[in-house]
Amino acid sequence: MEKAIEVTDLVTQYGDRVILNGISFSIPKGKTTVILGGSGCGKSTLLNHLIGLLKPTSGEILINGHDITAMTEDEFNEFRKKMGVLFQGSALLNSMTIADNVALPLREHTKLEEPTIQIICRMKLDLVSLSKFEHFYPSQLSGGMKKRAGIARAMALDPELLFFDEPSAGLDPVTAAGLDELIIKLRDVFKITIVVVTHELPSVFMIADYVIMLDLGEVIFAGPIDELKASAHPKVRRFLERQAEQETYSPEDYFRFIAGN
């Protein structure tokens, strides 16, 4: 298995609070990897490390063999041109039209002529079926359309790596399934390495080739999707079978807790 990303001993602490506790894993190239986990398990923090918005306390993150935690801002900015990110709220610039949003990375990072940029924009928007909406502003689009426009922008520079933060959050099942299909299409057609952070099970089973599951800042599972389905790890089973967390208090403890002493 060829590795696109390799994380070794990654630790993140805010003061005394440990968010990620020395995790190590690798993400295969050309596949869709889902980072799975309940709320507060550290998956958003992990994503922020992978896209370089946050520096870890210690540990290494190798992307295509280069340690991004040791890079200067300028070096990493060069690197970022090969990465695309779709944020949870799609994060389109509200002051610009959809076409200008998609054109932004091209205008900032390339020396292409304006007509060429517009052709690329239309191609990218057509890829996500938004070609009729190029002159719309983000506020005039629905949630699902905004996400697709966000994908078009992330694809603008033909990245090798694409990150998705909760792509189906806040979408109805039909729109979410449409987005999942788009993710599969991107992997199959462009052979991009895709990393998706989510907790939506239906979407995981549809798109994932490889799964990394986090719990309380630790990796509890890493492997292909079929192994996940067969896993006997109690926490994995509980997640897959949608069982609530066991009652952790004994009645005496609970009484002590509410009595405050």
Partner 1 sequence: MPAAIEGLFGFIGRKTFSILRNVHDASKLINDTFYWTFISPFKGKAVRVRATISEMVKAGYNSVPIVGVISFFVGIILALQAAYQLKKVGALIYVANLVGVSLTRELGPILTAIIVSGRSGSSYAAEIGSMKAAEEVNALVSMGINPIRFLVTPKLIALMVMLPALTIFSDFIGILGGLILSATALDMNPFSYMQQTVSSLLVKDVMTGLVKAWAFGVVITIVGAYQGFKVSGGAEEVGRRTTASVVASIFLVIVFDLFFTALFFYFT
Q: Which of 20, 83, 192, 211 binds partner 1 (CB under 8 A)?
A: 83
Rg (CA), the chain: 20
Q: Which of 70, 93, 201, 230 binds partner 1 (CB under 8 A)?
A: 93
Q: Which of 9, 67, 108, 172 binds partner 1 (CB under 8 A)?
A: 108
* By CB under 8 A, residue 85 contacts partner 1: yes
Find the shortest distance in angstroms from Cβ 35 to partner 1: 17
Q: Which is nearer to partner 1, 77 or 243 (CB)?
A: 77
Find the shortest distance in angstroms from Cβ 193 to partner 1: 16
Size of the site for partner 1 (CB under 8 A): 21
The helices-and-strands tally (H runs, E runs) of the chain is 10, 10
Q: Please, which residues have CB within 8 angstroms of residue 55's CB and are 6 or more apart in sequence? A: 49, 69
Q: Which is nearer to partner 1, 102 or 225 (CB)?
A: 102
Amino acid found at 224: P
Strands 32-36 and 58-63: what pairing?
unpaired
| Structure tokens that stand for 176 in this block | 């979410």
Tokens 């958003």: give the residue. Answer: 44
* By CB under 8 A, residue 104 contacts partner 1: yes
Q: Which of 49, 80, 147, 148 binds partner 1 (CB under 8 A)?
A: 80
| Helical H segments across the chain, by residue range | 43-50, 73-80, 98-109, 114-127, 143-154, 173-190, 201-207, 225-230, 234-240, 251-259
* By CB under 8 A, residue 37 contacts partner 1: no
Q: How many other CB atoms are there within 10 angstroms of residue 184's CB atom?
A: 15
Q: Mask of contacts with partner 1, 114-153, x by CB under 8 A?
A: ---------------------------------------x
Find the shortest distance in angstroms from Cβ 233 to partner 1: 33
- By C-alpha distance, which of 261, 195, 179 is closest to 35? 195
Assess contact for 211 and 36: CB atoms under 8 A.
Answer: yes
* By CB under 8 A, residue 51 contacts partner 1: yes
Contacts with partner 1 by CB under 8 A lie at 51-53, 77-78, 80-81, 83, 85, 87-89, 91-94, 104-105, 108-109, 153
